[in-house]
Structure 1
């Protein structure tokens, strides 16, 4: 190699080294965040699964409710007796509206709400809806914790849920479960409440509390445990009012004070009539005396297939249509009685609640 070529080779070597060093440095800078994320994920994978984030977000907005009921004195004792009723509730907004179960605050003389930060205050009943077993209270406090909500959120079968409440006055308690059904299979086919079913335990005192998902968002208002034919509780089957329905009921109670529903006066049940008539409908198992259905001539074992020109696909759909009809409205009903197809006109009444 001549002297004239050595500087060129030396210069090329240095240049290649610099370029290679810059490339390695760039790769290190580019890969560093990926390596950090990988290390973080490895550390997290070694941690036990936890719902602490969801609980920390939702639990402060779940309150304890203490209702006092006074009973008049009996023949043997003239002194009235007072009974304490336990329940839970959920703070829904920063002006103090609290959602709870109607059976927690129905027919009581006074209501006290206890927040998780130690504050206690009296509450006013804004309105109650016995059909969905929901009630809205109002408390007068500042700086209220509000439950996380997402109006677009929909629950699915298999979702993990957490029930937060005050069972047996033990203090705030969280139970965990899975959604088994999101409505429409509860067996209470005369009900207008489309309940969720899950296995998160709800003991006495937890009714009216929050059912949240694994992110802490409200998905339902805890209601009750399923009861068998003899009235005994069935383990693993509990119900909650879905958030979307609870939100609608709350809005109506705040604005109007009550939820007005249409009333037809029929009892419904499962039947193979759909196969007999080759179309879906409502099988009438009974008719309330002096009801709109009774006055319109409907009878047990009639099979309703159309209401107000709309084909009915199920009993739940038919009841929902009746429920949302303004009392006083006339509806034409098409139905089968045996092999005979008939029509009648009913005047929908207002659904009355038994206290």
Structure 2
């Protein structure tokens, strides 16, 4: 009996070591599989990506007395909840008289438009079907340039297609496609019909909504853009709740000041935002902000990035009052400005 007790610790250590070794081998094999195949990621995410078919009336074809004045457009969407909410691009469903959703399991259903936001090119649809598979959500804040991703959509209407690539850049906000931009850039092939589809990480989690491509040919040239999922969720919540998105605005265009710009223009400070345009009758105009002013702080927070400042203002409620610290000539000034509702498709920076 004593002899057996002496061997027990050794036997336990051997068994424990064997288990750890097998576990390590399994993890290594799983990692190797992930490097050679995206199958598990696709299997997880694909059932949540839908094809969208829209029918629009064409006034031109009506005037030409065409017997069938309807046009069929194609796009993609992502199932966001078991209740049937689908996130897609606004341009996919713009002016649509009928919207039909094609699911991964070959079911079809007519969808209704819940709300749209042209400023970010997002829209929310709803279908009434049981047994839907909502996509698992990722976190676009933690995405890094160089991360591998997959794009799932319906390019050219040929059916659900998966392409692979990486995150090429983040926070692209000067593309000029929409008035509110904060794109993830990817080299995964995105083509017409992919719009509104899913950009997912290798866990099969949604990190973005495919929105646009930069192309001289109309096809993929390795520069695609997607709206980050964190941004899209905020828009979706407002569209479901209110049917629209309400933003505030100041009504001025600004440019970031650096040492080189300050030196070339002989500015009194080498930081802040230089006002380059003020929209008439905007909150900024009513508060007396002028072209050439330098915005140093808003609500005691340094203003150093036009995009971030615009986003912060947009997220405030219309009617809110902000405190702005500016510089005009050699004099500093402080102004209290009451924010107003942003006009539709307003292109001002702040």
2:212 paired with 1:224: yes
Runs of 5+ unmatched residues, structure 1: 1-14
Question: How far has the Cα of 1:203 moved from its partner?
Answer: 0.7
Q: Aligned residue for 2:80?
A: 92
Question: How far has the Cα of 1:122 moved from its partner?
Answer: 0.6
2:248 paired with 1:257: no
Q: Aligned residue for 1:68?
A: 55
Give me the whole-angstrom Cα distance separating, in 2, the residues matched to 1:42 and 1:125: 46
Question: How far has the Cα of 1:215 moved from its partner?
Answer: 0.8
Q: Aligned residue for 1:101?
A: 89
Which of 323, 332, 349 pairs up with 2:340? 349
Give me the whole-angstrom Cα distance separating, in 2, the residues matched to 1:35 and 1:74: 70
Deviating more after overlay: 237-246 vs 185-194 = 185-194
Give yes or no for contact 1:282–1:318 (8 Å, CA) kept in 2.
no
Deviations 1:212-250 (A, max 9, x none): 10110111111111368xx98883222111111111111
Describe how 1:106-121 pairs up with structure 2 within 5 A.
106-121=94-109
Give me the whole-angstrom Cα distance separating, in 1, the residues matched to 2:194 and 2:241: 27
Which of 31, 40, 46 pairs up with 1:59? 46
Deviations 1:148-170 (A, max 9, x none): 12469721222111111001111
Q: Aligned residue for 2:158?
A: 170
Q: Aligned residue for 1:303?
A: 294
Partner-residue secondary structure (3-state), 1:251: helix
Q: TM-score, normalised by structure 2?
A: 0.84
Q: Aligned residue for 1:266?
A: 252
Deviating more after overlay: 133-142 vs 322-331 = 322-331
Q: Aligned residue for 1:156?
A: 144
Question: How far has the Cα of 1:291 moved from its partner?
Answer: 2.3
2:279 paired with 1:288: yes
Change (3 A) 1:283 1:236: farther
Q: Aligned residue for 1:130?
A: 118
Q: Aligned residue for 1:4?
A: none
Q: Aligned residue for 1:192?
A: 180
How many pairs are equivalent?
A: 339
Change (3 A) 1:289 1:224: same
Give yes or no for contact 1:62–1:115 (8 Å, CA) kept in 2.
yes
Give me the whole-angstrom Cα distance separating, in 2, the residues matched to 1:233 and 1:284: 38
Give me the whole-angstrom Cα distance separating, in 1, the residues matched to 2:178 and 2:292: 16
Question: How far has the Cα of 1:93 moved from its partner?
Answer: 0.6
Give me the whole-angstrom Cα distance separating, in 2, the residues matched to 1:258 and 1:140: 21
Larger-Rg structure: 1
Give me the whole-angstrom Cα distance separating, in 2, the residues matched to 1:354 and 1:193: 12
Change (3 A) 1:153 1:292: closer
Give me the whole-angstrom Cα distance separating, in 2, the residues matched to 1:72 and 1:189: 25
Which of 223, 227, 234 pairs up with 1:241? 227
Change (3 A) 1:170 1:297: same
Change (3 A) 1:346 1:37: closer
Change (3 A) 1:267 1:189: farther
Question: How far has the Cα of 1:113 moved from its partner?
Answer: 0.5
Runs of 5+ unmatched residues, structure 2: none
Q: Aligned residue for 2:193?
A: 205
Change (3 A) 1:147 1:45: closer
Q: Aligned residue for 1:315?
A: 306
Question: How far has the Cα of 1:130 moved from its partner?
Answer: 1.4
Deviations 1:265-301 (A, max 9, x none): 1122344456744453222222223322233332333
Q: TM-score, normalised by structure 1?
A: 0.83
Give me the whole-angstrom Cα distance separating, in 2, the residues matched to 1:189 and 1:69: 23
Change (3 A) 1:251 1:296: same
Deviating more after overlay: 241-250 vs 274-283 = 274-283
Change (3 A) 1:81 1:340: farther
Give me the whole-angstrom Cα distance separating, in 2, the residues matched to 1:186 and 1:173: 29
Give yes or no for contact 1:160–1:214 (8 Å, CA) kept in 2.
yes
